Amino acid sequence: MNLCPSASAYVVAHCRGPVYGNGRMDSPVLQVSSLTKAFGEVRSVDGISFEVGKGEILGLLGANGAGKTTAINMTLGIVTPTDGSVRVFGEDLHTNRISILRRMNFCSTYTQLPGNLRVWQNLKVFGKVYRVPNLANRIDEVLEMLEISHLKNRISGELSAGEGTRLNLCKALLNRPELLLLDEPTASLDPDIADKVRKVVSRIREEEGTSILYTSHNMRDVEEVCDRIVFMHKGKILFTGTADETLDHFKEDSLESVFIRVARSGDIESQKGEVAP
Ligand SMILES: Nc1ncnc2c1ncn2[C@@H]1O[C@H](COP(=O)(O)OP(=O)(O)OP(=O)(O)O)[C@@H](O)[C@H]1O
Ligand SMILES: [Mg+2]
């Protein structure tokens, strides 16, 4: 498995201990501890713990219903945890939500910006919410980054699914977030645009040191952009490690095979039994 050079550099730094970014001993940008969400009898997220370091891209993988979006929604403070904690930039999310959210952003293929506004109007509204300096320039910059400058005057609700996702990504990049949560950002994109989005994600991490939590069902995405992977199944974490460590652990030769095996097993304990020494 070939990780991109910057990803490899991150992994080397990470494997030596808690050293993030430029070699300083920074605390994790995102620290999730024993996080749990129960909807009635169902524990959608069941005691998960993980960290995202400065400049790290962490992939959150798992089958439909594994609990990825619920975990992301708790990291945004949209869903209140039943138990556990979320710390962002070293502070508790629950008690410092507004100041933390100003430094974060989020994009999901499955949420849409107000459909009656033009593309530039949507970006202007969100830019003002995030108090983005030189907003007009920044709007042009993000539209160019996602290659949708030609859609600037279009009504947002009339965009195709893939165009809407790219607008959503523009919104997510507006405030140069230090922590970016991306929930299936390439799900509605054609292969060409998906490739461009992966490159934008890698580029902003490279240029701005953005920390990113990334969910996807596309293993190509994960192999190309993620430094480490958290593998979820039925609300729990089965395994955390690099792509290579994940393959070793499950004794499979592709992430796709790991994914299918875990999704079809329906039995978390049997997967745990495979743990390599
Ligand atoms: N508001 C809710 N009320 C009840 N159950 C919920 C709610 N939100 C999520 N769930 C349940 O929690 C489980 C996890 O859902 P979640 O959306 O987090 O999964 P996911 O891993 O993001 O799946 P997908 O890959 O399909 O997006 C599912 O069984 C879902 O039905
Ligand atoms: Mg989801």
Residue 267: both structure tokens together: 């039995």
Atom of ligand 1 lying closest to residue 232 CA: 21
Domain boundaries, the chain: 5-103+178-272, 112-176
Give distance in angstroms: CA of 208 to centre of ligand 2: 27
Q: How much is the pLDDT for 266?
A: 58
pLDDT, tens digit, 9 for 90 and up, residues 24-45: 446 899 999 999 999 999 999 9
Q: Is the pTM of this model over 0.85?
A: yes
pLDDT, tens digit, 9 for 90 and up, residues 246-268: 999 999 999 999 888 888 875 55
CA pair distance 24, 149, nearest whole angstrom:
38
CA pair distance 146, 152, nearest whole angstrom:
12
CA nearest neighbour of 140 among 106, 174, 184: 174
CATH of 5-103+178-272, one of 3.40.630.10, 3.40.50.300, 1.10.3720.10, 3.30.590.20: 3.40.50.300
What's the alpha-carbon Rg for the chain, to the nearest Å? 18
Q: How many other C-beta atoms can be found within 10 angstroms of the C-beta atom of residue 81?
A: 22
In this structure, which residue's CA is closest to atom 9 in ligand 1?
Answer: 70
Banded model confidence at residue 15, pLDDT cuts 50, 70, 90: very low
Does ligand 1 lie within 6 Å of residue 65's CB atom?
yes
In this structure, which residue's CA is closest to atom 8 in ligand 1?
Answer: 70
Q: How much is the pLDDT for 106?
A: 96
